[in-house]
A and B are shown apart, each in its own frame.
Chain A
């Protein structure tokens, strides 16, 4: 059983650019959520995807957007990058859709630095 994998692991962008981060969910998991973790803080919920639709969103502006594909993998896109977007971006997958009560497993994250 493969775990949650994320790519790239590290990347550097400049202010104003756009970035796409990718996540492959754990085998058998159909729900994906994204979190942002700034240095020294706990992860903050960005949004969740189930059946290729966003079904929950945290306090993030519209320039944070996502996709989920039929194979349950997911992308996080961030437009017009700002310095404060520098963070570790975490993907988590789970089984059972909305309001499931099972385990939720995280990937190792993509560390984004915005200069």
Chain B
């Protein structure tokens, strides 16, 4: 049973920032938020994860609200190769498992 809610699809123009929202209102205090993406049924690709502070790496930024009930993944300059299904996931603390939902299908257009 997924702990996250995401819009089923989004569009973004190439070169613009893609902002992917995620709701996780039942998240526990010690559970991390992970983001992955999956292209054409390849293995999910790790993007970023965080607990409560904002995080940034070479791929993306993760903004987590102060109450931790929602987060946003930001791809600063989307390219056509960023077209994929993006999964926002809460990693269960007591089992370590990633509980995937249905994800957001991001389409980047020229």
A contact set with B: CB distance below 8 Å: 4, 31, 33, 35, 37, 41-45, 48, 55-56, 58, 88, 90, 92, 98-101, 103-109, 111
B42 touches A103 (CB 8 A): no
Q: Which secondary structure characterizes the binding site on chain B? A: loop
A90 touches B44 (CB 8 A): yes
B98 touches A45 (CB 8 A): yes
Residues from chain B with a CB closer than 8 A to the CB of A105 are 46
Number of interface residues of B (CB under 8 A): 25
Known: A42-B102, A42-B103, A101-B32. A106 touches B45 (CB 8 A): yes
Segment among B21-29, B76-84, B89-97 that sits at the interface with chain A? B89-97
Alpha-carbon distance between A48 and B95 when the two chains are bound, in angstroms: 9
User: Taking CB as reference atom, which chain A residue is nearest B51?
Assistant: A101
